Amino acid sequence: MKYIIVTGGVMSGLGKGITTASVGRNLKNNGYKITAIKIDPYINIDAGTMSPYQHGEVYVLKDGGEVDLDLGNYERFLDTELTREHNLTTGKIYQSVISKERRGDYLGKTVQIIPHITNEIKDRIRRIAAKSGADVCMIEVGGTVGDIESMPFLEAVRQMHREEEDNVTFIHVTLVPLDAQGDQKTKPTQHSVKELRQLGLYPDVIVARCKEPLLEGTRSKISLFCDVPTEAVVSAHDANDIYEVPLTLEKQGLTTYLMNKLGFSPKARDTAWSDMIKRMNNTKGEVKLVIVGKYTHLEDSYLSISESLKHAAIECGCNFTTTWVNSETFDNDPSLVNTLSGYDGILVPGGFGERGVEGKILAIQYAREHDIPYLGLCLGMQLSVIEFARNVVGLEGANSTEFDENTAYPVIDILPEQENVVDMGATMRLGDYEAILSIGSLAERIYGTTTIVERHRHRYEVNPNFIDRIESEGMIFSGKNHNRMEIAEIPENSFFFASQFHPEFRSRPGNPSPPFRSFMEAMLQRNKHR
Ligand code: GLN
């Protein structure tokens, strides 16, 4: 097993995740099997309990792991499916060391960061990598070199390098800022490499984030001061789109450099990625989409949705613009909902908590009554059922018990088995579940099959006691998992599709999620006739 370890310096948010995913993709294009691990040095066991305000979207894996959004980037770039083990956190490591200590596994020894914590980290990395059957395991160490939290992880990878030198390669991602005169400055990079060296880690490759391509002079200066060959100093200048980053790195010879270092020779030439980029750069027209949600000022909170829309647009050959509207603006002034007429489609994403819910319901009502293409995801599905129950079936005050425990019409209610759970990590229905689609439904047409698997993250669901009344009025549940409603649609509308699951987690560049693709097509249709 070969390991490529990606660290970051100078500051966070430089795009280490995209670099990690891009390097992996380029190796995959040469016929190698790649897996990836994200190390998050925080003490939370997983991202499930974190607010999207803190770390962006909580990404959900097939096994129900609630993880950092970088795993979404790995899955999309590498076109693979990962499991919760691929996200290591300080919390997970300590939890397992402490329970081993309680079991007496350490035979009376003093349990310490070195070797017990570091061994736990190395064991896990090696076990996960081996289990994946990959040739290369990409490992991204979250945070910035020098952070107290990441020390045990950096020490563990240092030991791995000592133990199997030929198998471990280090990439350090840094920032090359511009000074007031617009000159590229290398000092922050020099300092962060120095910091890395103090920890016993020597970068093989330096990836420099910068606005414009690195100048030759900057490149050779970094090479000289940081002791890496010039061809191993790579410019990661701003790209039009993150999907272009693999090509930027490739063009500078990084893949060849790494392949030589790993002792690899090309086994295949997979052009799916570069073909997709060609399609991406050859789109025309523009549809206008509006997303009515809560964390609308933080696009990272809905990262997978943005990516899925992009995948759909690439394959539909069109461009799109997204307007983010905080649903509370409709709560405060319901007349503003009329502004939605100017869009080709309305999307209501997932969410938790009562804030802004009534505004989202108004937006859904507008979409239904004006036959504007509508895509509802998770909460966006539950609210479309509430809207329909209130305004079409006539169940006044219908609601979800999440927002009104005493509603006379609890059309959305808590999953029975989740009622008394106290562990915050276990209160939801998470990960892959099957849905059976009704023959002749929009759902079946969209997916082209009658059995699908999609990822979930919810605590509430459609209350089966109301299904008959709702269906008799024209909203049908065309996807089911036994008595769980997975998809709601309104056949009378041109495109009204809402799912309890989150299709955005399985969408891939070059292979868009079917509901997103059909939503994009419906928006194109409306755009043409508008
Ligand atoms: N709050 C809703 C539930 O728990 C919807 C969750 C979501 O949108 N992810 O079921």
CATH 3.40.50.880-classified regions of the chain: 283-529
> How close is the Cα of 92 to the center of ligand 1, in Å?
25
- State which ligand 1 atom lies nearest to the alpha carbon of 428: 4
List, edge to edge, every strand of the sheet that includes 451-458. 319-326, 286-293, 345-348, 374-377, 496-499, 484-489, 476-481, 429-437, 451-458
DSSP per-residue string spanning 40-92: E-SSSSSGGGS-HHHHSPPEE-TT--EE-THHHHHHHHHT----GGGEEEHHH
Query: Of 378, 402, 444, 486, which is the active-site residue?
Result: 378
Among 295, 354, 458, 501, say which to mutate for ligand 1: greatest number of ligand atoms within 8 Å of CB: 458
Question: Which residues contact ligand 1 via a Cβ below 6 A?
Answer: 350-352, 378-379, 382, 402, 457-460
CATH 3.40.50.300-classified regions of the chain: 3-14+18-276
- State which ligand 1 atom lies nearest to the alpha carbon of 502: 9
240-245 long-range Cβ contacts below 8 angstroms, 24+ apart = 241/280, 241/310, 242/15, 242/18, 242/73, 243/273, 243/276, 243/277, 243/280, 243/509, 244/277, 245/15, 245/18, 245/19, 245/22
> Could you list the pLDDT tens digit for every one of the 530 residues in the chain?
999 999 999 888 889 999 999 999 999 999 999 999 999 998 888 777 777 667 788 999 999 999 989 999 999 999 999 999 999 999 999 999 999 999 999 998 999 999 999 999 999 999 999 999 999 999 999 999 989 999 999 999 999 999 999 999 999 999 999 999 999 999 999 999 999 999 999 999 999 999 999 999 999 999 999 999 999 999 999 999 999 999 999 999 999 999 999 999 999 999 999 999 999 999 998 999 999 988 666 678 899 999 999 999 999 999 999 999 999 999 889 999 999 999 999 999 999 888 899 999 999 999 999 999 999 999 999 999 999 999 999 999 999 999 999 999 999 999 766 555 555 555 789 999 999 999 999 999 999 999 999 999 999 999 999 999 999 999 999 999 999 999 999 999 999 999 999 999 999 999 999 999 999 999 999 999 87
Pick the closest to residue 411 from 396, 429, 398, 394 (CA basis): 398
Q: With the CA atoms of 420, 425, 428 and 430 taken in that order, what torsion angle do they form, in degrees rounded to the nearest 10?
A: -150
Query: Annotated catalytic, 328?
Result: no
Query: Annotated catalytic, 318?
Result: no
Query: Annotated catalytic, 521?
Result: no
Among 379, 381, 461, say which to mutate for ligand 1: greatest number of ligand atoms within 8 Å of CB: 379
Distance CA 138, CA 149 (A): 20
Pick the CATH number of 283-529 from 1.20.1290.10, 3.40.50.2000, 3.10.20.30, 3.40.50.880: 3.40.50.880
- State which ligand 1 atom lies nearest to the alpha carbon of 457: 9
Whether domain 3-14+18-276 has CATH 3.40.50.300: the reply is yes
> How close is the Cα of 306 to the center of ligand 1, in Å?
19
